[in-house]
Amino acid sequence: MALGEEFKSSGVTEKTPENIPFGAGTIHKGLKFDASGTKKWNFEESLVGATSGGSKFEIIPEVTQVEVDGALVAVAELDVKTGETASMEINFAELTPDIIKAAVIGKNGTESEIEGYSSIVSKARIEKGDYWENIAFVGKTLTGTPIIVIMENALCTSGLSIEGKNKEAGIGKYTFRCSQKIGADLTTLPYKIYYPTTMA
């Protein structure tokens, strides 16, 4: 065999199309799989709203390297996972009462003096109901198979900021943070990534 004959110019294989995420995906609140009944996800009922500019999710482990005298470089097996963060950054093109209340950590006003309008007002404390049961990103591969990321106990930490421009939609950017419930394992976050079993 000649030198370099085994070298490939591309990493593309037959499994490549089913391993490539493609498209902006959709954002869901309270996404669930009915394991005992329909055996389906509630994709349509849990949709939050249209996005523009896509969405981004991040899951970042916090790794601490134990320092030892004499070691001048990173040492394998001296790394300790000391925490993690998980969040989604979403560009919603829609502005709904649900999104507004989550962003400002507000509540429904008790009354509105303007006919045809309801009101959303500030509140002093974050309550259990301010955490969304879950927020989910549903994307697809090139072959159309869903890849699902679910982050439980999601709290919007970014606030509300929308800039109106001529001939442009007012897009709001919102960050939702995943958090663990009191009484659960406080060393890990409750996120799940569902990927097709056919993937490599």
How does pLDDT run across 44-101, given as a tens digit for each residue? 999 999 999 999 999 999 999 999 999 999 999 999 999 999 999 999 999 999 999 9
The answer to whether 30 and 133 are in contact (CB under 8 A) is: yes
Which domains does the chain show, CATH number per domain? 17-66+83-194 (2.30.110)
Considering only CA atoms, which of 95, 62, 92, 96 is closest in space to residue 79?
Answer: 62
Instruction: Give the per-residue pLDDT at 6.
Output: 76
Nearest to 108 by CA among 95, 97, 124, 93: 97
| Biggest alpha carbon–alpha carbon distance for the chain | 84
Predicted pLDDT of residue 112: 67
Q: What is the pLDDT of residue 2?
A: 62
Burial of 113 (0-12, 13-18, 19+ CB in 10 A): exposed
**Alpha helices, H only, the chain:** 16-19, 43-46, 97-104
CB neighbours (10 Å) of residue 31? Answer: 23
| Res 22: pLDDT | 87
Residue 106's pLDDT is 96
Whether the pTM exceeds 0.85: the reply is yes
Q: Give the model's pLDDT for residue 138.
A: 96
pLDDT value at residue 165: 87
Under 8 Å between Cβ of 168 and 124:
no
Residues of the chain where predicted confidence (pLDDT) is lower than 50: 199-200
Residue keyed to tokens 């591969």: 141
